[in-house]
Amino acid sequence: MAQLIDGKQLSAQVLREVAAEVELLSAEHDVVPTLAVVLVGEDPASQVYVRNKVKRAEEVGMRSIAHRLDAECTQDALNELIGVLNDDSQVHGILVQLPLPSHLNEDDVIAAIDPAKDVDGFHPLNVGALASGRASLVPCTPQGCMIMLRQVHPDLSGKNAVVVGRSNIVGKPMAALLLQENCTVTIAHSRTKNIESVSRNADIVVAAAGRAKLINADWIGPGATVIDVGINAISVDGKRKLMGDVDFESVAPIAGAITPVPGGVGPMTIACLLLNTTRAAKRQLA
């Protein structure tokens, strides 16, 4: 059976390190790292994510402010709020919970965030920095995946890695981080031919397709490390269940190491958000 990479345990370790940094910033510079989270509308999943982020931030001693705007809010009103947060020296990190209601332009909102406070790492300047190997604020989910991978592979150099999915928030930054660690990277997506055999040849498979149980035993070579980013809410016997993109039962006996869902990448994402907020606060000291 594959080694389980426990995201709960690992994220707790990251959060302890963040808490120590927060204490140091407060003691030495009288600065409490502060995260502003902006939520537009009433999407239930987004509300849960925002509540969790605020709660975790407070647990590590940060200040966290949630700004809730109604679903009909205009682009101007949202951009104006971002402007106020950009100018507020007490705010070190700004996160706009996505997705936004369809009448709002996500790209415009992301571009309005001060790149130094862009703790999601989605601003075009931060995206460009990552692509050119000079990363500053790196997207949280791929960053969490890298911490998990290093548990199994302290040196990733030369590994064949396949990332399934090419979104801007997971697939592409994930591939950039793996490349930076000298992996040979393939990005697979919905148009990839012979995707199972492409994936089967990999030492590392990162699944970020958003398709429940897409990746089964046919996709995984013996001993491969499998990171499951997918979070799919599926109804089983009338009950809502969270499932990854990986069919854990069929893959775990073949893989060398695997992350569970839930309790894998999810908790790492929040931990990395708080890591980014602390980093942003430290940089803003200068």
Site for ligand NDP in 249-278 (CB under 6 A): 265-266, 269
The total number of residues written for the chain in this structure: 286
> Whole-number minimum distance, CB 74 to ligand NDP, in Å?
26
- Residue 142 makes contact with ligand NDP by CB under 6 A: no
- Residue 116 makes contact with ligand NDP by CB under 6 A: no
**Which of 166, 219, 277, 281 touches ligand NDP by CB under 6 A?**
166
**Which of 74, 105, 190, 197 touches ligand NDP by CB under 6 A?**
190
Q: Is 75 a catalytic residue?
A: no
Q: Which is nearer to ligand NDP, 26 or 47 (CB)?
A: 47
Compute the CA torsion angle 217, 218, 223, 228 (nearest 10 deg).
-60
Active-site choice (118, 120, 228, 247) = 120
- Residue 151 makes contact with ligand NDP by CB under 6 A: no
**Which of 178, 208, 224, 243 touches ligand NDP by CB under 6 A?**
208
What amino acid occupies position 179?
L
Cβ neighbors of 142 (< 8 A, separation 6 or more) are 170, 173, 174, 176, 177
- Beta strands (DSSP E) in 116-231 are 160-164, 184-188, 204-207, 225-228
Tokens of 51: 């509540």
**DSSP class of residue 117?**
G
Q: How many CB atoms lie within 10 A of CB 152?
A: 16
> Whole-number minimum distance, CB 260 to ligand NDP, in Å?
11
The binding site for ligand NDP (CB under 6 A) comprises: 141, 164-167, 169-171, 188-191, 195, 208-211, 214, 229-232, 265-266, 269
